[in-house]
Amino acid sequence: SLRRREIDRLLERRQIHPVYQPIVSLWDGAVFGYEALARTDSRQWFPGPMELFLFAEQEGLTYALDRLAREKAIDGCIPLNRNQKLFINVMAQIMEDPGFSPGQTLSLLEQHRLSPHHVVFEITERSSIDDFGTVKKALEHYRSQGYQIAIDDVGAGYSSLQSIVELRPDYLKVDRSIIQNIHQDEMKEHILGTLIQLAFKMGISIIAEGIEREEELEKVRSMGVHYAQGYLLGRPAPFA
């Protein structure tokens, strides 16, 4: 198909252009890190990265595309200070693949004067995880090397409480659907409050996603959220 040819071409020419969105510390307003997000020139075939990654999955190309996006994210990253993090999206299924190894990532990091301590793997569950045992084992291995783990889209889609319990992430990224209008929605406030309590008991940090309004920022800050991300704080952009 034409889309298949487009994705093959994209992989062959390594045409992923990362953009970076700041994640801000609500303690001191400093940039805690950046989430790398993939962009392409193939908008007529894939309007956004979501369509691209879904199609890659159907075609059995998740692994190749994820790896390219990861390498590009590291390649395009500005130098980070000792405490800043680069958040890299990885599909949960990739972790189930015994071939996924941070080995190549490590040498690329070193070329850019970064270490595993700078990297947070942001796990997105496009579909539910089949084999928690394998994913857990993989994550333990990365952790032992200094990488950290975030669970993405908490409160939406396939992200489950089981993943939080089983995978013991370092960060929970609370989905935009919970954060939007949280200052006017008691139910959303209860949900975030419950996640904050859970996170506190488990030693996990919360990142609020999709902050667009001052009122949302003030609300999540007053509730004790550690970190925030969203258009109000900075749009995804290339570093150049």
Which single residue is written with the structure tokens 């959220």? 225
Q: How many residues bind ligand G (CB under 6 A)?
A: 24
Return the residue of 91, 135, 164, 195 that touches ligand G, per CB under 6 A. 91
Residue nearer to ligand G on the CB measure, 84 or 229? 229
Burial class (CB in 10 A: 0-12, 13-18, 19+), 152: buried
Supply the minimum distance, in Å, between the C-beta of residue 48 and ligand G: 4
At which residue do the structure tokens 């969105």 appear? 21
Quick check: 152 binds Na ion (CB under 5 A)? yes
Shortest distance, position 72 Cβ to ligand G, whole Å: 8
Is the separation of the CB atoms in 208 and 229 below 8 Å?
Answer: yes
CA distance 131 to 26: 35
Residue whose C-beta lies closest to Na ion: 152
Query: Binding residue for ligand G (CB under 6 A) from 34, 148, 152, 220?
Result: 152
DSSP structural state of residue 158: T
Burial class (CB in 10 A: 0-12, 13-18, 19+), 106: middle
Site for ligand G contains 153 (CB under 6 A): yes
Residue 88 or 144 having the CB closest to ligand G: 88
Q: Which two tokens stand for residue 123?
A: 């796990």
In DSSP notation, 34-67 reads: EEEEEE-S-TTT-SSHHHHHHHHHHTT-HHHHHH
Q: How far is the CB of 186 from ligand G (least distance, A)?
A: 22
What is the Cα–Cα distance from 121 to 168, expressed in whole angstroms?
A: 13
Query: Could you say whether residue 236 binds ligand G (CB under 6 A)?
Result: yes
Is residue 230 within the footprint of ligand G (CB under 6 A)? yes
- With a CB cutoff of 8 Å and minimum separation 6, the contacts of 173 are 122, 150, 151, 152, 153, 154, 207, 209, 229
Instruction: Name the one range near Na ion by CB under 5 A: 17-25, 53-61, 114-122, 183-191.
Output: 114-122
37 lies in the binding site for ligand G (CB under 6 A) = yes
* Site stretch for ligand G (CB under 6 A), options 127-135, 189-197, 215-223, 229-237: 229-237
Among 26, 38, 151, 178, binds ligand G (CB under 6 A): 38
In the complex, the residues that contact ligand G under the rule CB under 6 A are: 21, 37-38, 48-50, 53, 66, 69, 89-91, 124, 152-153, 173, 176, 209-212, 230-231, 236
